[in-house]
Each structure stands twice: as C-alpha cells, then as structure tokens.
Structure 1
Amino acid sequence: MFDSPDGFPFVVGGQFGSVTDQHPSAIQIFQLWQIYLDNVNPLLKLTHTPTLQVRIIEAGANLDKVSRSLEALMFSIYLMAITSIDEAECQATFNESRNTLLAKYYYSAQQALLNAGFMRNPDITLVQAYLLYLLGSRQYTDPRTMFCLTGIGVRLAQRIGLHRDGAQFNLSPFEVEERRRLWWTLAGFDRRIGELSGSIITAISNGGNCKLPLNINDADLHLHAKDPPPPHTGATEMIFSLARLEFAKAPGNDKMKGQSSETNPHAIASVADYRLSGYLERFSTHMEDTYLRYCDPKVPLHYMTLLMTRSNICKLKIVSGFFRVALTAPTPLPAVEREDLFIEAIKTIEYDSMMQARENLKGFLWYTQMHFPFPAYICLLADLRHRTTGDLCERAWATICENADLRKMTAHMRSPMHLSFSPLFVRAWDAREAAEAALGRTIAPPRLITHMRQVAARLPKAAKKQTPAPTPSPKIPVISGSYVASAQTPPEQQQAIPGALPLYSESDVFSNLQHIDMNRQFATAFPDVNLPGEMDWNYLMQEYSGFIAHPPQMNAYANQAPLQDPTQAAAAWQ
C-alpha cells in the first residue's frame, strides 16, 4: 500500500534550508489561521488561541525575524488547515489546487522542523509543530512508519517531562495546561497509530502521571496568572477534546495487563477479560454524565462530540465482543450476546453516517478519516451471511448502503486491504438473495453490491500483484482457555467511577503475558470472513485501514511533487 521513499527525518537533507519564501502572503496567513481555528483547533485544542494568535500576527509582519520553532509551528498549521478543506474551498480561497498546497506545506513543515533542530531542542512549540505535522501526513504514511515517527514525538515529550504533571513542579498554570493538552493529544494519537500497526507499547504503557487538561475555555487561561482557573461543570471549548482524550485512557492492548499472584501466576490479561464489560458500562455512564448530557445537538462541536463519543464506545464493545467470539470458538456466543453485538455494529455505522451527512460538520470530517468503522463492518458482514431476513437485516443493509454512499466507497478501491474487503459484501448479499429466492421473492442489488461484485471478479489477479509480502504477525495478549463467557462483573469488584477509571494495576507491561496467534483463532471463529490473499487478522483486528491506497512520491524537499488528494483518492476508506 505504501511505497513512498520519503525518509524524513533522516534523508530530507539534514541541513539548513530557508523556507521564508514558502510562507503564504500576510492575508493568506490569516486565512489559513482562521481555517485552523474553525476546523482543527476545536477538535484538538492543542494550542492556546489568544496567545498564539498574537505571536502569528507579529511573525506575519516580519517573516525574516520569526523564530525557527514558531516558523515550524506555522507551517504545520498551514498543512492542517489545507488538510481540513476540500478542493472547491481551496480553489475559492487561495486560487490554487489542494494538491499543490498540501505538497508545498508538507515539505516546508519538514524543512522548518529540521531547521529548528526539533530532535535536539527541548521546546514545547517544536513538539506541537511536530505533532501537527504527523497529523497532517498520517494519511500518506504507512502506519508502521508513522508509529516510529510518533515514537520520536513521545521521546521528545518525555525528555521535557510532559508525561509528568507540571503542577507538581510549581510551573505556572498556563504552562501546566499547555503541557497537559500536548501530552495527552500526543499520547492519544500514538495509541491510535499503535492500534493500526499492532503494537502494545505506546506512550501510556510506560508510566507517567500527567492529568487531563482542565474543562475551561481559552479565555479563562492567562499567560501570567498565578493560580489555575476553576474548571467548569458543563460544556466548554474543551468538550470534544476532553471526550476524545478520555478514550486515550480507555482499555486497549497497551493497558490490558495484570499483576502476577498465586491465583494468577501468569498475569494473563485481555480485552476479553470479564471485568471489561462492567468497565465499559461504567465508562459509558461516566462519559454521558460528564460530557454528553451537556451537549446541545444544534451546536456543531457538541453534535460532533455526541456522535464521535458514542461511536467510540460502540467500537470498544464490538472489539471486546470479537475477542469473546474468538476465544469461545467453536462454541457460539449466546443469541442475546450476538444480537447485542450486531446492534452495536449498526449503531457505530449509523453514527458515522450522521457525521458524514451533516453539512455543518464538513470542516470536522478530516478527523473521521482516522476512524473508518472497520470493526463494525466486519461484525455486520460476518453475521449477515446467516441473518438474511428480518428487521435487523433490513436495517443493517440500509445502514451499510447509506454509509457507502456518504463515504463514496465505490470511488476508489485499489489497496490490497480494500480489494480483499469486497468479497465480504458479495457473500453477505448472495446469502440474502438466496433467502429471498427461497421465499419466492427477488430483490435488486444496490449499487454498492454491483460494484463490489465487479471488484471481486477481478480480485484473484489483483491480489497476486498487490498483496504485500507477509510480515511477522504481532501477538495479542489474551486470557487462558479457562475463560468464562459471562460478561458480568462480580459484585465485590464493582466500584464507583474514579476520575481516571482505572481497570488494571500498573504493573510492568512486559511481565508474563500469554500470547496466541489470532489468525488461527479468527479462522475458527469467523469461517465466513477468510479474506483472500495474504491478509493478516492480527493487523486487520488492529483496524489496518483508513490510509491512502497509493501515496504520492515524496523524495526530497526540492522535489515538491503534488500530494494525492485524499478527497479524490480512496476517500471512502479514510
């Protein structure tokens, strides 16, 4: 999928190269800053708007004198601003193609980071710039490469102590909040890329006591204030960001760890642990009570918070259900559990469609590119081989077709994973057609299925050409064969919801974990979801999706080849 030879930060040049002439005009600097404030800042809240705006205005008036760290941050802001708009808006605002501007600011951000010596200098502004650069380049980069690049960011952050809460070092309230916002945004992104690349080692698996940012507005935080502002109860500018950061602490491969004891000598843990179901219910209640109850659906940021949060909770339930299915195979889950899992999958895709369809969320859709509802699709398409009639079947197919249209799934399907995904749709629809025929009825296939049939017909030849060479499979820690399917939390383990919602002890993540090859388990549990070619369930379960099928060539800073427009190429799979 990814054959870009771009070697940043090791090959780009390693020497200073002025990028002053790459800045846009003063008017366009302000336009890009405003787009960033409208589309990117509300979701990330990585920077403090009043303070940074003054610095950018001053820099724009005298670009020859701008500090190298601020210049790197400015180019990363330009890159994220262009990433968040489509071709039409780019042409209307800047009279240039989106591809051209993406390439320009992509390479300029790289060179500006190198100019500032970002890997040597302990500067929070440079870490902010580097993280925004990673977010802007994510869709053009192999997740395994991106995971290494995020690792650089984590090391930079740890070197200046961002994983330690600044309040204990008597730092100013402004700096404490700036550090918290940066650390948790970096940690959350690193964890997401860790999911995509199949890693259990992330920023949050190696300790730290940094607290989540306060629930405040930027206007509450002053550069020279001596005391921290009191946090609000209810919705603030931070509502989406805080809800997003809560999931950085939620269960996952890098947190599913147990402490060895006489009764649990191997310290075996898994997302399928019986404690997880109870945890997810408590976590869901915590999110509803702390954030979602204060959301006004008429406010775009609030509506995005509602949908994204509920979608992510559904995703956690689906993935935990996948492991329950796999670890109890060949014995099927009880019918009630299967139906609950199916409904969660439908809801996940429905939430995604609601985000894609809402016009006033258009500027936020860049964020959904990292969150294609792949687990929900696998869940539905596996079950629809057998659930061929009834209300839930109808609702599932209506949901799939609507989402496919909104994400333009039929536009570009070229990568090995995308091609291998198509037969799942075809097999599920064929089963439905057969069931309807047995009842004396005929149904016309939707446009999505017609397209998928065409893709599937070409698959064997395409798979041989495009499937990458197999790589060693990451291993996923699981519980032992004595796993009990019951999802009930024992009464003695019920607890009130603390702020951080701890689930497992903070013992060494490397200690005594038992592993099992999930390829074999899933082949047993999901016989109808055997993807052709050399597809790897270990990677698929980590949601190896959402990337540009054929990224542009990114050779050197001087060769500013236009980036491929992700809204035109493989938009459906972003």
Structure 2
Amino acid sequence: MNTMDADDEPSLAAHGKPCIGCRKRKIKCDRLRPCANCTRSKQLCTYDNADSRGESSSAVASDGDVRERLAKLERMMAAMLLKENEGRGHVPDHDEEPLALNSAPSPAIISPSSTFVSPTTTPLNIDLTTSARHIPLSKREAPVGQILFQDGCSAYYDADFWPTLMTEVEDLRILFDQVVLDPPAGHSQGSGSVPWPLLTSSSTSSCLSLMHPTLDQSNVLCKYFFEIIQPFIPVIHQALFARELEQYRRGTYLHPQEFEAVLFTMYLLTINSLQPRVIEEIFSVPKQEVLAKFKHSAQVALSRIDFMRNEKLHGLGALLYYVTFLFQQNLYKDGIALLGIASNLARQMGIHRDPSHFPFSPWVCNIRRRLWNHLCCLDGQAIQFYGAQSCLPAKSDASPPQNANESDWHASRFAKPASAPQDAVGFKDLTFPVVNRAISDTIRDLADTDCKNFEKREEILRRAESFITEKYLSEVDRSNPRHTVVVALMEVRLAGLRLNTRHRQLTRIRTSPADPGRYRTLIAAVELLEAYQYHKTTFSTLNWEWIFQTAIPWLAIAIVLAELPHLSAQSDIARAQRQVDDIFAVFSNPDQPVSNTPMWGILLQLRQNMTTPVQPTSAVALGNMDSMATTMFTDDLMLDLGVSMTGSMPGEFDEYMLGNENSITW
C-alpha cells in the first residue's frame, strides 16, 4: 500500500524505477522511499505496483490483521444481538434467515472523477432494532389478500381490491384477460420486431428529430402543460425548465437525451389531458392519431436513455410521467410493472432517503423530494384502484416537499441554505401534491391494518381528514378553481376509502337487503358517484378532467349495480339508475381506454346479471336529482364547496386561464 509515513528515516530499499513524481517532473530520483526530491517538496512518493514487491508482504499482513479485527467485532455484535433478542423473548425460527454479519464488506471504489456524498451522521450507524425485520411474515399482523391462478397464471391482489369484496362477481379470472391494443398508426411492428419496453438501440434507430412537433406546436404544448399538468404534478420547475429548454434547443444542454425523454412524456401527458377539439386545432388531425404518435415517440425516447438502468434525475422524471399516463389510460398492468422499476431506480439513486441526511443544497433537496413524492402518489393509486402491493422500500424516509409557492424557491443547485422557504400552513402552489401524498400515505396505512379492525381503520381516515383540513384547507378560496379541485379530489378519494371499510363490515355480518346499514352504504355509493360525475364535469372546462380519470370509484359502481335490484322506493331506483346510465354512457365509449380493461369487463358482467327489471325514470325524479346534485353532498363526502359551480364556473374559469397566460415565459 502507498501511504504517507511519518518516519523521519527514509527506507533504504531501492526500487528498480524512479518514483512517479520524479518521472513526471523529469528529474533524477534516488529511488528510495520516500525519495529526496519528494521529501524536499513534501509530496507523496509513490511507485508502480511492479516495483512495490518489497511491500507486498507487509500489505498482506496488514490486510490480514484488519480482517481478524473485523471478524472479532462481528462476533461481539452477534453476541449483543442474541442477548437482546433473548431479553425481548424472541426466539429465531428454524426457517428464519440469520443476520448477515459474517459476510465481508465489498471494497468501495471511487474514481477520481466521481463525486462521493456521505451522510452527515456517524458512518458506523448500526440499528440494533433491525432484527425485528427477520420475523417470519406469518407472525406479523398483516392483512392477506387473494391469489388468483389459472392455467399457469398467478396474480396476487390486495385485501381491499374491490372485485374481491363483491360476492356477486362470478368469476375473477376475467382479470387474466390480456388487452390487445392496436399499434400506433404508421408504426406497425413485424412478427420479428421486439415489443416495447424491450427495445434495443438498434430497434430505436429511427431519428427522434423527425418526431418532434414544430416550434409553435411545442410552445403551445409547453404552455398547456404548465397550466393543466404542472400545478398537480410539480416534478419540475417552470423557470428552470424554461432555461433548460433554451439550452436544449441551442444544442448546449449537458444531457440532451434525458431532457428529450422529459419533453416527449410532457407532450404525451398534455395531449392526453386536452380535449379533442383543442388537439385538432393544434395539429389538424384527430386526437387519437396524435396520441398514438406521441406515445410511440415517448417509448422510443425512454428506450434510447435505457430507462431501466438510467440513474439521472431527468430520466427518472420522464419514466414517472409515462407511468402517470398509463394510469390515466387505466393500463394498470404496464403501469404497475414500470412503477416497480421506477421505485428500484429511485432506491439505487438514494431518492428514497430524505436528502437532509446529506450535504445537498435546498434546491437539490426539493427536486429529489418532488420526484419521490410523485412516486409515492402513484404507489397509492396502484394500491387503491388496482389492488397492487406497495413498491416502496421499507427504509424510505423522504419527507414531502415544502408546502410553498414556486416563486419562493431559488432554482439553483448552488442555492444557500437560508434560501429554502418554510413549510407553510394554508394553500400554496404545492398544496395539491402534498395533499395527494397524505392520501397515499393513508392508503398504505390502511393496507397494513387488519381488515377486521374497523375501528382502527376509521380512526386512520378521521386522522388523515383532520390533518389535511387543518393544515392545508382551513382557508380555501372557493372562487379559485385550484383550491376547490383539491377539495374535490380529497372528497372522492377519502370517501372511496371509507366506503370500502363500511362495505366490508356489512359483508362480514351478512346483512339482509332490507338492513338499514346496507341501505345507507348503497346511498353513500350513489352519492360518491354523483360527486365524481359532478367534479369531473365541472373541472372539464379547465381541461382538468384527467385528474379524475384514475380515481374511478370502481367499488361504488359495483355496489350500486349489485343493490339496484333490491331497491323498492321509486326515488331511490331513479337516483341509482341515473348514475349507472351516466357512468356506462361515458366509459363504454370505445374511445375511452377504460372500456378495454378487464376490470370494466367485471362491471359489464355485473350489469348483465341484474335480473330484476327497473322501472323507467320519471321526469319529476330527474328534476329533483338535478337540484340536489348541484348543491351539496352528505357528510360522507366531508366538505361542501358552498357554491353552485355549474352556472358560474365556465366564465370564471376562462378569465382565470387568460389571467395566467401572460405569465408564461415562452
């Protein structure tokens, strides 16, 4: 080993070649260790490995001594852990994996050009409580879902997955049905081509420059993105993105392929969220054709950066944007698979650990928290609506981003610590994503709670509702649509979670159709559908309908379909039937991606099994429904918006959009 010795006496062992320093300076070397020249200049004297044979024996001896001391330390730690487990009464099972204390650590290799960031805490930070993670899963109090298998196929769904709660569903194996989608127009794949996302560099050789929109189209899409997407998915910063976009267009951006992937996934999200007439005005072609083209372009851009291994922040952001698009399209199988890849990439990049552990600047901490925050929100959606298991690592502790306005940030990785804004109370620019994160954390808490512990589940929901209302929604400006849409999202998401718990409780006690609790659950499901349709229609004037495309109240639809034949009151029949007709009229449209999903096939099956004829809806009943649905909802939906938004919203929304249009930088 080449180390700096503190000995005053130089070593008398001469080397065959001069030292590295003398060779670089081209001066005569006496070939001692250290040589006279390096001693005078106080430089580290090093020789080639081939000339260091005299030190090999001492290096081996030193290495053996270190390994012996390390083994002794590991034996001491193992004895301490064993003593602690005996004191806690924990006896390892025969199938329990032992602690990996005897494995030799791998050496850390740091290249001269790499940047090494170490935690600010003590390097040897051993958590003695980690032995609890080795308790077999059978001994933990965790709800167990259902496994579905057929013809070699196997799928596991969370205990709260809505089809597994419906006894009226005859065959869950319909979830194995593969959805065959048509390839994008002009990009047909041959029999020998490789399907995405397994594209290789040779299969993505097509020039992406030909797939870019024109400069005017790009500017319009970017403008719409920061109007209808960025307020709810603030992964990037508008001012910083404008500077990076200018550098990319000039060809001076440092990572052009990663930024190109971000651009195409931004285009894709924007096109999917805009109404068809707006897309036709921009591109002069139907929306579905434009959407297919940019979906293919986004896939090619992600493949070119090797998104399964890419560890750049923009690469992870582009992947999260694409997963968001898949969830909007209810292509949940692809979305859940790619979400797992994104979670593993984020873990390898250290995004799952709170950046306050490391010497990052406030702005870098903020960007890393934004990425992890959106990944957590997607994880909550996968659990609530698709029955997936959480893909977050157990040791993740990254906190949500600060509840602050975008203008409060100094968007520079060299920003000083004092430039970071405080985590404010009330409504700010980042309130929507942090509220969405709080709902997602609640979903994970419910997934880890015993399904039969209804009191605890209700307490989790009450605590989440109280926290969100007090911290973020205590002073909501009901004339501002960005405020009211947060309230609307919280209504739909938390009401769906509460309906899940109540329906499970009624199923457990096996109530009769005439039971009052069963009737109240049905009415709660109808009211949830009314709120969903109301918010979806109201915010479509701002092109914010996409927010509710993923939050489809699947369980509420299934409950109404199952209970509709048992209703006797004419008003209840008319009310429930109207919601069923409206939902199926919207989502049965072939242009809607929901209509091609296996879960929608389950609802179609339920509707076909309604054997009791339903009497036609009267005009009087529909008139009463109009007046009720546009005023307020019950306590199940928590907050009343307080205003009738149907008549006055469009004009106010248009004025709101025009007011913000002047602040766009491009």
TM range (shorter): 0.5 to 0.7
Deviation at 1:174, TM superposition (A): 0.9
2:247, 2:253 within 8 Å by CA — same for their partners in 1? no
Residue number in structure 1 paired with 2:482 = 301
- How big is the shift at 1:404? 5.0
Match for 2:495: what amino acid? C
RMSD: 3.2
The answer for the alignment partner of 1:71 in structure 2 is: 260
Within the candidate set 168, 174, 180, 1:3 is matched to 180
The range that moved more, 66-75 or 209-218, is 66-75
Q: Aligned partners of 1:275 and 1:146: how far apart in 2? A: 31
Change (3 A) 1:371 1:271: farther
What does residue 265 of structure 1 align with?
A: none
Q: Does the alignment pair 1:192 with 2:381?
A: yes
**Structure 1 counterpart of 2:216, which letter?**
I
Distance 1:297 1:71, change over 3 A: same
Task: Please point out which of 411, 416, 419 is paired with 1:226.
Answer: 416
Which residue pairs with 2:400 in the alignment? 212
What is the CA–CA distance in structure 1 between the aligned matches of 2:320 and 2:370, rounded to whole Å? 12
For 2:389 and 2:575, the matched residues in 1 are separated by 35
Partner residue of 2:391?
Answer: 202
> 1:322 Cα shift?
2.5
1:71-470 matched pairs, under 5 angstroms? 71-138=260-327, 142-203=331-392, 206-222=394-410, 223=412, 224-227=414-417, 228-252=420-444, 256-257=447-448, 269-270=450-451, 272-329=453-510, 331=511, 335=515, 337-358=517-538, 361-389=541-569, 391-403=571-583, 407=586, 409=588, 417-422=599-604, 424-425=606-607, 430=612, 432-433=614-615
Pairwise CA distance, 1:207: 3.1
How far has the Cα of 1:295 moved from its partner?
A: 2.5
Shifted more, 277-286 versus 172-181: the winner is: 277-286
Counterparts of 2:431 and 2:423 in 1: how far apart (Å)?
A: 12
Q: How far, CA to CA, are the matches of 1:302 and 1:230 in structure 2? A: 20
User: Which of the numbers 236, 243, 251 marks the counterpart of 1:47?
Assistant: 236
Deviation digits for residues 305-360 of structure 1 (CA, Å, limit 9, x no counterpart): 1111111111001111232133333x559945334423331231122112222155
Letter aligned with residue 257 of structure 1: D
Give the 3-state SS of the residue equivalent to 1:293 in structure 2.
coil
Q: What letter is aligned with 1:349? A: L
Residues 91, 275 of structure 1: alpha-carbon distance in 2 compared, 3 angstrom cutoff: same
SS at match of 1:213: coil
CA distance in 2, matches of 1:312, 1:140: 18
Distance 1:117 1:403 in 2: 40
Matched AA of 2:522: F
Q: Is the 8 A contact 1:251 1:271 kept in 2?
A: no
Structure 1 contact 16–114 (Cα < 8 Å) conserved? yes
Q: Give the Cα–Cα distance (whole angstroms) in 1 for the partners of residues 318 and 259 of structure 2.
A: 8
Deviation at 1:154, TM superposition (A): 0.6
Aligned position for 1:38? 227
Pair 1:415–1:23, CA change in 2 (3 A): closer
Q: Is the 8 A contact 1:73 1:125 kept in 2?
A: yes
Which one scores higher on RCO, CA 8 angstroms, separation ≥ 6? 1
Distance in 2, Cα, partners of 1:123 & 1:432? 57
Q: Distance in 1 between matches of 2:589 and 2:309?
A: 45
Q: Residues of 2 paired with 1:444 and 1:425: CA distance?
A: 21
CA distance in 1, matches of 2:252, 2:287: 24
Tell me the SS of whatever aligns to 1:358. Answer: helix
Deviates most, 5-14 or 93-102: 5-14
Residues 72-93 of structure 1 deviation map (CA, whole Å, 9 limit, x = unaligned): 1111111111111122111112
What does the per-residue CA deviation read over 1:512-556, in whole Å, with 9 as the maximum and x for residues that have no partner? Answer: xxxxxxxxxxxxxxxxxxxxxxxxxxxxxxxxxxxxxxxxxxxxx
| Structure 2 Cα separation of the partners of residues 114 and 95 of structure 1 | 28
The code of the aligned residue for 1:232 comes to A
Normalised to the residue count of structure 1, the TM-score between the two structures is 0.67
Cα deviation, 1:468-500, whole Å, max 9, x if unaligned, reads: xxxxxxxxxxxxxxxxxxxxxxxxxxxxxxxxx
> In the aligned structure 2, how far is the partner of 1:231 from the partner of 1:15?
47
Q: Do the aligned residues in 1 keep the contact of 2:561 with 2:580 (CA within 8 Å)?
A: no
Inter-CA distance 218–415: structure 2 relative to 1 (3 Å threshold): closer
- Shift in Å, 1:296: 2.3
CA distance in 1, matches of 2:343, 2:401: 18
CA distance in structure 1 between the partners assigned to 2:334 and 2:283 by the alignment: 32
Q: Which amino acid aligns with 1:430?
A: T
Residue ranges of structure 2 left out of the alignment (5+ in a row): 1-177, 184-193, 623-666
Q: Is the 8 A contact 2:446 2:457 kept in 1?
A: no
SS in 1 for 2:531: helix
1: CA distance, partners of 2:617 / 2:289: 46
> 1:144 and 1:403 mapped to 2: Cα distance?
23
Structure 1: any 5+ residue segments left out of the alignment?
259-268, 434-441, 449-574
> Which residue identity is paired with 1:176?
C
Partner amino acid, structure 1, of 2:536: Q
Is this contact kept in 1: 2:179–2:596, CA < 8 A? Answer: no
Larger radius of gyration: 2
Query: Residue deviations 1:49-76, cap 9 Å, x none?
Result: 1111211133234499861111111111
Distance of aligned partners of 1:117 and 1:399 in 2 relative to their CA distance in 1, 3 Å threshold: closer
- Counterpart of 2:230 in structure 1: which amino acid? N
User: Distance in 2 between the 1:206 and 1:368 partners?
Assistant: 29
Aligned residues of 1:350 and 1:399 also touching (Cα < 8 A): yes
**1:151–1:190 CA contact under 8 A, matched in 2:** no
Q: CA deviation at 1:383?
A: 2.6
Scaled by the length of structure 2, the TM-score of the pair is 0.58
Shift of 1:161: 1.0
Letter in 2 for 1:378: A
CA distance in 1, matches of 2:514, 2:458: 15
Paired letter, 2:461: L
Displacement of 1:388 after TM fit?
Answer: 2.1
CA distance in 1, matches of 2:345, 2:584: 40
The change in CA–CA distance for 1:62 and 1:192 in structure 2 (over 3 A counts) is same
